[in-house]
Structures are given as C-alpha cells and as structure tokens.
C-alpha cells in the first residue's frame, strides 16, 4: 500500500518546525499571530465536533466488535472506498504537510501515527497535541490520518449526511477527515482508535486527566468536556501526567498525548494560571475574539462558548515529561449538574463507582458540539461515550477489575450549579471545588463523617475544612426546599430510566445508584 496515499512527494512538507508551521499558516492566511504569541484560528461554521458526521467502516474486523449505534454509525465498505478515492484524488497534486507522531507514552502500548494535513495550522495542531516522533526514519506507521477540511462532501450523493465526514477504518488503519476545520476532530478520532485497540490488551482507555505527587501517587479526573478535567488537573503542587486521555495498565497509567486542548472561555489568569501562561508562542487558539490591539478576550462567546487553546504539555511547568504515572490511588468523577441538586462531593463504593462510570451523568455544556447553546442533561457512559467504540460493558468490566485489584478511593464531584438550577443558581466556585479535590486526594476524607443522601443513595461528607457551612448539602442552598426535593426526584428518575439500557448488570451495581420512590 502507498504509505503516502498518492500525495505528490514534491509537494509534501515533512516535519516542519513549530516556527516554520506558524509562518506557513500566517503566509497562507490560515490564522494570525496575536498579542500573546498564539496563532489564532477561526474554524468557521464548525466550532465543535460534529458527531452525526462520524462513521466507522463496517467489515469483517469490526462487525462483531463495534457497538453499532447513533455514535458509531456504520459505513459500508463500498461507500468508504469511493470517499477514500475522492480524498486521494483531492490530495494527489496538492501541497500537504506531514507530521510524524506517536500516541501513547507507553511505547509498548502506543501507536506510530502519520498525519497528512492540507492546512499548516492543522499540522501545527497535530505536532503540538500528539507526542513528537521526528526522529522516526520509517515512512510506515501503525495508523494514518488525513485531514482535508477544504474538501466538501456532497451529502447523500456521497453516502454521508452533510459536507463533512470523519471516517475511521480500523482494518486499513486509516482516518479520513474532510469538510470541517475544527481541530478537535483530529484529536478525538485518534482517541477513538485507542479506545478500540487497548481493551484487547487488558488496558482500560480513559477520557480523563491525570496528575501525581512527588512520590508517584496518581489521581485520575474523569469528566466530559467542560466539567473541569483540564483545569483541576493543572495543579501547581502536583505533576501533570496528561489532561485528557490515558490508559490504565497493570503497572500504572500513561498519557496518550503530548499536549493539552483546554477550553478558554472565561479563562482566569489567577485561578487558571498554568493554562493562561501556556497560551504563548507555539500555542493555537481557536475561535477566540480579540480586541483591536490583538489581545484575546476570553469572556467573549459571540462566536462560540467552545473557544479552545492547544499547547504542548511541557508548557505546563510541573508536567511529567515521561507521560507515565503510578497506579491511581484516587479517582474523581466530575459532573456539571445543571439541575443544581447533586451534592458537591460524594464518596463512592466500588459498586457506586461502577454505577456512575456506566451512567456518566453530566450536563453537556454549550459549544462542545454543534447545536448545543445551553446546558443539556446527558448520560454519557464512561464520561466519554461518544469516543468509545466497543460495548460499554467491556470498559466497565475493565474498571471493575482494576478497582478490585487495588486500593483506589473514588469520589463524585459536582462542578455544576448550586442554589438552584441553571438560570437560577450559580456555578460552583472553582476555589471550593479545588478544596474538595484536595480533601479527596490527601486522604482527609477517609476519616470524615458522612451523611447519607436518600434520594441519590450517596455518602456525603458532613464537613470539610474551609468549605462554608451548608455548601455540602445542596438542599439548604435552595430558596424553596420543596422545589429542591421535586427537582432532585426528577433527576433521580432520569438516572433510573437511563440505567435500564444495561440489561445484565450485577444487582449490586444497579442498586448502588439513585433509589426508586
């Protein structure tokens, strides 16, 4: 097979430096350099992922191993071959950028990745978000990704839904992305590939951030986009292993990536200093609005709430260069509850952890997907269901085995609303969330006194030092306690209804969630 997929070698620019890629992007009017040194990109109509335009090729390799559903849409091989040819015809005499990268800090369980991009800005993104592999002499890779955002599909005529498509062919080990300039599609399609391959090795792939202390004690932060993974894991007192995607082996955890992709809306230079300071030359900003002097206004959401910054992980001063950590001693499940009724922090039993892992409740935040303009209640299993290709139960069983084999404390932390639902209450202040995380990580909560929440079947700390009285009991923060009870019951019923989709679950797990009336 042609490793270059028909690209004209004379027009192929290979492994350009960061400065060279930035110069190329500016020269080609793909973006502008702004006051803080970042390359600013406008991604056009696609300011978030487009999950309805994502497909997995159905063949003899995937037919029995992929969970086919609305998030893993099957594409017939004949449709794929026509679209692949369309892409190859498009790139055959076009200037392209080649980035050699790796995915997975654990070399035994990672992938060699070739990225071919028609845009210098996408090549820069791939260079900064994945692990660099510039010294690789071989043209061969374990997986290849081709990104051609200017190529538009013809919808039904091409066998797809719109002008954009993201196609994963797990047999040919090829990813095709067209019609969308949103760089997150590059990152998440590779994540999906890892999520498919690693369970076969007994490795749990995770949509989580990870950090560790000087002794190697590791903490995992699970959560959907916007729930605080990146922010909470970028702790100046701990080493950052990675901010979004990891694998859990029998020896420890490893980062899939070499960079970070942080939401920047309302970015605070004091509360989120590590991220703020990382947005400098070599970093990419997507869809951020600047003033007349080229200074970014992180409060401006007029283009999208899903403004993003991508930067190498070593821009974080306390990052762990190896991308490797020990076995986790604490896991934090993050949820942004727009109902404003979940306790700010709860301790989970093993069964409770399995229940909430399989439920993956949060409120999908504005901007992370096209069409989402305000928080929307969702249950995303594993806190990353859109990227999980195999049946949910396979990943859940892997987590259960990991928890049974170790001594890991698991907590559910609500970074969402207090004092009322979205539109009435307010978002939980970040300093309070940080304090709760610290209490969980330090072991402080192992000896705490707990009360039982009868609606959600959760154990909630009665008191945490420096947390104002009443915050830990959300009912006391509502103007009308009866309204709280009604709203909490509504959310509990949503949990129960969602969990019905899991048919053959251990009753101990099913009974660890909210209780029926």
Query: Among the options 58, 102, 122, 229, which is catalytic?
Result: 229
308 a catalytic residue: yes
Map tokens 């969702």 to a residue: 378
Catalytic residue among 58, 84, 112, 188: 188
* Tokens coding 297: 């206004």
Both tokens of residue 505? 């679950």
CB 216 within 8 A of CB 320: no
13 is catalytic: no
Indicate if 273 belongs to the active site.
Answer: no
- Name the active-site residue from 189, 218, 230, 378: 230
**Phi and psi based region of residue 374 (left: phi greater than 0; alpha: psi -120 to 50; beta: remaining):** beta
Does residue 401 carry a catalytic annotation?
A: no
Separation between Cα atoms, residue 467 and residue 472, nearest integer Å = 8
The Cβ of residue 297 has, within 10 Å, a number of other Cβ atoms equal to: 12
CA quadruple 146, 151, 153, 154: dihedral, nearest 10:
-160
Note whether 240 and 318 are within 8 A (CB): yes
How far is 347 from 451, CA to CA, in rounded Å?
A: 10
Closest CA to 111 of 221, 258, 5: 258
Of 308, 347, 356, 390, which residue is the catalytic one? 308
Active-site option among 187, 207, 263, 356:
207
Rounded to 5 degrees, φ, ψ at 132 are -70, 140
Q: Which residues contact 282 (CB under 8 A, 6 or more apart)?
A: 18, 22, 37, 128, 311, 312, 315
Q: Which of 409, 446, 416 is nearest to 220 (CA)?
A: 409
Please return the burial class of 105, using the count of CB atoms within 10 Å of its CB with bins 0-12, 13-18 and 19+.
buried
Told to judge if 244 belongs to the known catalytic residues of this protein, a careful annotator would answer yes
Of the residues 50, 225, 264, 304, which is catalytic? 225
List strand residue ranges (DSSP E) for 110-194, in order.
111-117, 131-132, 143-148, 165-169, 174-178
**Polymer length in residues for the chain:** 517
DSSP 330-364: EEEEEE--TTS-S-SEEEE-HHHHHHHHHH-EEEE
Q: Does residue 161 carry a catalytic annotation?
A: no
Number of Cβ within 10 Å of residue 197's Cβ equals 22
Q: Which of 49, 86, 187, 239 is catalytic?
A: 49
Find the catalytic residue in 244, 337, 453, 459: 244
Is residue 188 annotated as part of the catalytic site, yes or no?
Answer: yes
Backbone dihedral angles phi then psi of residue 362, each to the nearest 5 degrees: -165, 180
Catalytic: 415? no
- Quote the CA–CA distance of 402 and 407 in Å, as a whole number: 9
Name 208's bridge partners.
222
- Between strands 39-41 and 284-286, the pairing is parallel
Q: Is the dihedral of CA 264, 267, 273, 277 positive or negative?
A: positive
- Give catalytic residues, as residue numbers: 49, 188, 207, 225, 229-230, 244, 308
């Amino acid at each position: 097979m042609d490793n270059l997929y028909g690209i004209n070698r004379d027009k192929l620019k290979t492994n350009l430096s960061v400065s060279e890629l930035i110069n190329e992007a500016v020269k080609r009017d793909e973006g502008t350099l702004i006051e803080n040194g970042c390359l600013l990109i406008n991604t056009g109509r696609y300011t978030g992922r487009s999950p309805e335009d994502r497909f997995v090729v159905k063949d003899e390799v995937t037919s029995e191993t992929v969970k086919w559903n609305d998030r893993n849409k099957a594409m017939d091989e004949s449709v794929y071959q026509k679209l692949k040819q369309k892409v190859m015809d498009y790139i055959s005499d076009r200037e392209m950028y080649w980035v050699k990268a790796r995915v997975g800090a654990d070399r035994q369980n990672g992938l060699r990745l070739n990225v071919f991009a028609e845009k210098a800005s996408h090549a820069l993104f791939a260079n900064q978000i994945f692990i660099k592999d510039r010294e690789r002499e071989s043209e061969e890779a374990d997986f290849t990704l081709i990104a051609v955002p200017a190529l538009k599909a013809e919808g039904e005529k091409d066998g797809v839904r719109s002008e954009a498509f993201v196609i994963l062919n797990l047999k040919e080990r090829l990813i095709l992305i067209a019609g969308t300039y949103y760089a997150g599609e590059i990152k998440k399609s590779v994540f999906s590939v890892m999520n498919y391959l690693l369970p076969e090795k007994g490795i749990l792939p995770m949509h989580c951030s990870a950090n560790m202390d000087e002794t190697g004690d590791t903490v995992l932060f699970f959560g959907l986009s916007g729930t605080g993974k990146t922010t909470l894991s970028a702790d100046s007192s701990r080493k950052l292993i990675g901010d979004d995607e990891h694998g859990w082996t029998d020896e420890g955890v490893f980062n899939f990536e070499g960079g970070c992709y942080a939401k920047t809306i309302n970015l605070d230079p004091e509360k989120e200093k590590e991220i703020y300071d990382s947005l400098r030359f070599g970093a990419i900003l997507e869809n951020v609005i600047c003033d007349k002097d080229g200074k970014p206004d992180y409060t401006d959401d007029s283009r999208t709430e899903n403004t993003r910054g991508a930067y190498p992980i070593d821009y974080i001063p306390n990052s762990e260069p190896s991308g490797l950590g020990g076995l986790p001693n604490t896991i934090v499940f993050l949820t942004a509850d727009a109902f404003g009724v979940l306790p700010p922090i709860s301790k989970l039993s093993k069964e409770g952890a399995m229940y909430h892992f399989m439920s993956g409740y949060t409120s999908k935040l504005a901007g992370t997907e096209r069409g989402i303009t305000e928080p929307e209640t969702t249950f995303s299993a594993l806190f990353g269901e859109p990227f999980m290709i195999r049946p949910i139960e396979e990943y859940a069983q892997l987590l259960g085995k990991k928890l049974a084999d170790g001594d890991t404390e698991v907590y559910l932390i609500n970074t969402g609303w207090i004092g009322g639902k979205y539109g009435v209450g307010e978002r939980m202040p970040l300093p309070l969330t940080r304090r709760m995380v610290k209490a969980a990580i330090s072991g402080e909560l192992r000896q705490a006194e707990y009360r039982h929440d009868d609606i959600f079947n959760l154990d909630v700390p009665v008191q945490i030092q420096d947390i104002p009285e009443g915050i830990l009991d959300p009912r006391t923060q509502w103007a009308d306690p009866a309204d709280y009870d009604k709203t909490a019951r509504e959310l509990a019923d949503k949990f129960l209804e969602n969990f019905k989709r899991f048919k053959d679950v251990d009753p101990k797990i099913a009974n660890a969630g909210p209780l029926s009336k």
